Structure 1
Amino acid sequence: MLKSFLLFTLLFISRPVWASFDVNTTCTQAYKNILSFKLKAARALIDREKATHPQNSFTILLDNYYDYFYLLSTESKADYDRLKGNKSSRLDKLEDENQSSPYYNFALAEVQLQWALLNSRFGDNTTAGFAINKAYHLLQDNSKKFPAFLPDDIPLGVVSVALGALPDGALKSILNIFGIKGSLEGGINLLQNVTARLPQSAYAMYYDEAVFYTTYLQADVVNDAQAYHKMLQYTSRMDNSSLLKSYIQGYIALRTGHSTEAIGFFAKRPAGSEYQDYPYLDYLTALAKMNIQDEGATDYFNKFLQTNKGVSYIKDSYLHLGWEALLSGDVKRYNAFAQLAKNKGYTYNEKDKRALTEIAGPLYNTSLLRARLWFDGGLYDKALALLKAKDASNYTSVHDRAEYYYRLGRIYDALQQDDNALSNYQQAISTGRNTSYYFAPMSALKAGNIYEQRKDSSRAISYYNMAIAFKNHEQENNIEQRAKEGLKRLKR
């Protein structure tokens, strides 16, 4: 009898004591503070929860969110190298937890995905590929086990869009090994759906995160014509004290031709010692100001370069400072900034890679540069008036003539004057056909978009195939992927 009692006792003691995923009030507030970039307050709440409820495994996920948003704000390679070891230790802890909770696979997947996004940001594509593969399978499994668990749809949508839109390259090659294929349309629909459903659900705390990813992907990947207006609708529910809200509003405004509005959003962003420093917002403000030729752009680029400790947008900032000098007629100062762009910064980021391409190309014609910036800023009428005062014969090089037609095509396209847009796109294709510049293939892609909107499938397919057929040019992967997405849509 005694032996049986001792055996029972030993078995009971040796059973694992499952920690819980307790998303209590403290954890909820810590999560909201992280997403608002109030990282000091979040850190204090996470540490308090660990001290009070050491078995609460949700704090492991909160720690990862903290690192993720901290690295988004600093862009620091040194911080990345210092913190990336946290991933494996957190995964080890989470893997020992209760698998019957919907947060089990979700937490594991979020840690994998957040680090994958950071890995790719710092050029570690192999690690990112393996992490995305693991996150994808965890999320697929979780959605089958817990179909009503809405938070799952946020990372699942992100992964699906990312995989569906990924251009050919190192990361896509790695993922192809696993046979993983996403769906751009399916992923964005999933994100839009979960964003709409979250506010009325038990998981409303995840709304801001859903908006963060949905708006970014709508503007940057899907190129949704309604991205700006959707953003305004989504962010109206967000707290004005959230720095994330200001970032989303300003970034999407900038990316969709609303630079004046972007400047306003950034100017009204909350400030104070409780917020994490975020120099990137000064860089975005500088871009918006330069697009509308606001003299304050230079100050914001310089402020970013002085306060930024990260690796991205340094070359691009020097390029824009060089453009400001060029527009002022100071070629010598432009050359000095071009040299700084070559020597300073890194090429992890696509914009910094393009900055080097821009510098290596011919010296920018100032009327074309000004029209380009005004177009990016949404000042379509000013850009059009500037170029209509010129003629292709005013430009001596093939590069400039091809760009002239391309810029006119883009302006008419934005003004919904489709016939004029198509005419100029065709001229850009004819002029730039035998060059390595992106004007001809991008014009083919844009013409395909117009014909697709017109329901003229045969012409749309023809232009998408034309865009794909152009090889060995700037932005080849991006243009080819977008053309392939167009063909996919038309074949359904």
Structure 2
Amino acid sequence: MRYLLIFLLTIQVATAQDFVWTPGLQRAYTDLQKLRVQTGRQLASREPDNGVRLFVADYADMLTLVTSDNDRLFSQLADREDERLTALKHMDDNSPWQRVLQAEVRLHWAFVKLKFGKEISASWDVIRAYNLLAENQKRFPDFLPTYKSLGTLHVMIGSVPESYLWVANLLGLHGNIRQGQQELLRAQQDSTFGLEARLIDLMVRAYVLKFTDTDGQTLQRLVQGNRDNLLLHFFGATIEQKNGHSEQALTYLNTRPTGSDYQPLPIVDNILGDIYLQKGQYATAETHFKQFLHVYTGQNFLKDSHYKLFLCYWLANQPDARARPFLAQVPGIGRTTVESDKAAQKFAESYLKRGVSANQKVLMRARLASDGGFTDSALAYLRPYTEGRFTTAGEQAEYNYRLGRIHQRRDEPDKAIPYLKRALVLSEPGQLSFGATAALQLGYIYQQKNDRTKARSFFQKALSFKRHEYKNSVDNKARAGMSR
């Protein structure tokens, strides 16, 4: 009897120690969130072997893989997912951390697998993570760490194109954007995942909803309040660049923390190249793209960088013999997992097969400048032209769309409306992407004017375009716009 009692006490002590956030593990996780990966690994290695240490080690592996894009390293580390999940499953089932950390590990590897083109396996990880989090919510409804990733998944489910909703429902995935945002807001109160939840909420606003000036101010406060956090500076830059504020993105990158303590981020040079390309500083852009290719060992962004190097020469009016070789390499290198590589592949195939008109160079300069928020330059490129100077419906639609977006970015919605409407009309017969994106922007403009009827009609018009390369992202934003 005495030995049985000792055995039971031993089991209780063991399970009680399964999920302990020791001060050392807390410091390790904080360092990892700043992209101090090696320091985080070292701190974690000194701590007792428990479920939290497994999670922290897994987080370090995920950060290493997604920042390096190293295929060989991915092959070496891939088995660790199952090993860690098996270990976590055998830990204390009565702890709210057991399912949360299993879900986090699955989401880490889902993110990694997407980067390496393993979409099906990544999808199954997401589904299993959702089920773990949904179960944890039922068992421990007040446990805040559940809501960071559950909220993220509910936003993702709510963003699924309507034609695929039946698949989500069939798999037992339920949720909507508003529900997810409320859960992310709740998760921000958590001492462990609160910072991550705040960043995810801003990324949802940037990539799914509409990023506002207020959101930009919130992001700025978050970055400035964490000056030693490389991850926040990086995501701050990508968010601002995505939303047409490349000058602010440049500020975040130029003030980012550096040093041997931080994980190398080769992709920063690719982003800097993008920004200087938008600014029309082609020689500086070229330097950054070449530096990226010199140090990067992965397969993503190769097509994109070679395409952008072509643009540096082409837009600077260099001889075709200097520009074309970069574009000629695009079809045979890298992969088309990320959107920018897909766009590069499409442009290269079209240009190499048919060439482009001189008008395309004007439109490209205006597009890049407008995308970066450099609207004075963008307007100057297009001012000498009229719609009649462009010969094809595609060029005419793009001309009107670019002018509409320029005026919209300059906070001149009434000037933007006729151009965007004209782009929509020209695009409908051929189902061009400019029509879908113009309709989306018209929806936003009328939403700001509080004309809900017109806003909804334009969001529906955006959804009606069936064949274009930006359908998923446009549909997500249009559906989110209607839900508001």
TM-score norm. by structure 2 comes to 0.91
Q: Does 1:409 align with 2:404?
A: yes
Q: Does 1:254 align with 2:241?
A: yes
1:213 is matched with which residue? 200
Q: CA deviation at 1:343?
A: 1.4
Q: CA deviation at 1:168?
A: 7.2
- Asked if 2 retains the 8 angstrom alpha-carbon contact of 1:260 and 1:292, the reply is no
1:355 is matched with which residue? 344
2:278 is matched with which residue? 291
Q: CA deviation at 1:176?
A: 4.5
Residue from 467, 470, 473 that aligns with 1:478: 473
Q: CA deviation at 1:258?
A: 2.1
- Identical positions, percent: 28
- Asked if 2 retains the 8 angstrom alpha-carbon contact of 1:74 and 1:309, the reply is yes
Q: 1:57 to 1:328 in 2, by over 3 A?
A: same
Residue from 67, 71, 83 that aligns with 1:73: 67
- The residue correspondences of 1:268-279 to structure 2 (distance < 5 A) are 268-279=255-266
- The residue correspondences of 1:90-489 to structure 2 (distance < 5 A) are 90-167=84-161, 175-195=168-188, 197-198=189-190, 203=191, 205-226=192-213, 227-238=215-226, 240-294=227-281, 295-330=283-318, 331-361=320-350, 363=356, 365-489=360-484
Separation of aligned partners in 2, 1:338 and 1:168: 36
- Asked if 2 retains the 8 angstrom alpha-carbon contact of 1:374 and 1:382, the reply is yes
Separation of aligned partners in 1, 2:147 and 2:341: 32
Separation of aligned partners in 1, 2:11 and 2:163: 49
Which residue identity lines up with residue 138 of structure 1 in the other structure?
Answer: L
Q: CA deviation at 1:178?
A: 0.7
Which residue identity lines up with residue 408 of structure 1 in the other structure?
Answer: L
Q: CA deviation at 1:265?
A: 2.0
Q: 1:34 to 1:392 in 2, by over 3 A?
A: same
Residue from 10, 22, 25 that aligns with 1:24: 22
Separation of aligned partners in 2, 1:288 and 1:262: 8
Which residue identity lines up with residue 440 of structure 2 in the other structure?
Answer: L
Separation of aligned partners in 2, 1:15 and 1:191: 34
Separation of aligned partners in 1, 2:240 and 2:380: 23
- Asked if 1 retains the 8 angstrom alpha-carbon contact of 2:62 and 2:112, the reply is yes
Which residue identity lines up with residue 435 of structure 1 in the other structure?
Answer: G
Q: 1:397 to 1:102 in 2, by over 3 A?
A: same
Secondary structure of the equivalent of 1:150?
coil
CA deviation profile, 1:422-466 (whole Å, cap 9, x unmatched):
111111122222225311121122212222332323322322222
Q: 1:156 to 1:14 in 2, by over 3 A?
A: closer
Q: 1:9 to 1:370 in 2, by over 3 A?
A: closer
Separation of aligned partners in 1, 2:301 and 2:475: 25
CA deviation profile, 1:183-231 (whole Å, cap 9, x unmatched):
1232234324533x34xxxx1x434322332232221222322332221
- The residue correspondences of 1:5-44 to structure 2 (distance < 5 A) are 17-18=14-15, 19-44=17-42
Separation of aligned partners in 1, 2:37 and 2:423: 49
Which residue identity lines up with residue 41 of structure 1 in the other structure?
Answer: T
Separation of aligned partners in 2, 1:124 and 1:173: 23
- Asked if 2 retains the 8 angstrom alpha-carbon contact of 1:168 and 1:477, the reply is no
- Asked if 1 retains the 8 angstrom alpha-carbon contact of 2:159 and 2:479, the reply is no
Q: 1:335 to 1:173 in 2, by over 3 A?
A: farther
Which residue identity lines up with residue 127 of structure 1 in the other structure?
Answer: S
TM-score norm. by structure 1 comes to 0.89
Separation of aligned partners in 1, 2:96 and 2:8: 28
CA deviation profile, 1:143-183 (whole Å, cap 9, x unmatched):
3333443222211121112222234799x786443131331
Secondary structure of the equivalent of 1:477?
helix
1:64 is matched with which residue? 58
Separation of aligned partners in 1, 2:131 and 2:260: 40
Aligned alpha-carbon RMSD (Å) = 2.4
Q: CA deviation at 1:69?
A: 1.0
Q: 1:7 to 1:159 in 2, by over 3 A?
A: closer
Separation of aligned partners in 1, 2:163 and 2:12: 48
Number of matched pairs:
474
- Which blocks of at least 5 consecutive residues in structure 1 are unaligned? none
Separation of aligned partners in 1, 2:397 and 2:287: 33
- Asked if 2 retains the 8 angstrom alpha-carbon contact of 1:292 and 1:374, the reply is yes
Separation of aligned partners in 2, 1:307 and 1:47: 29
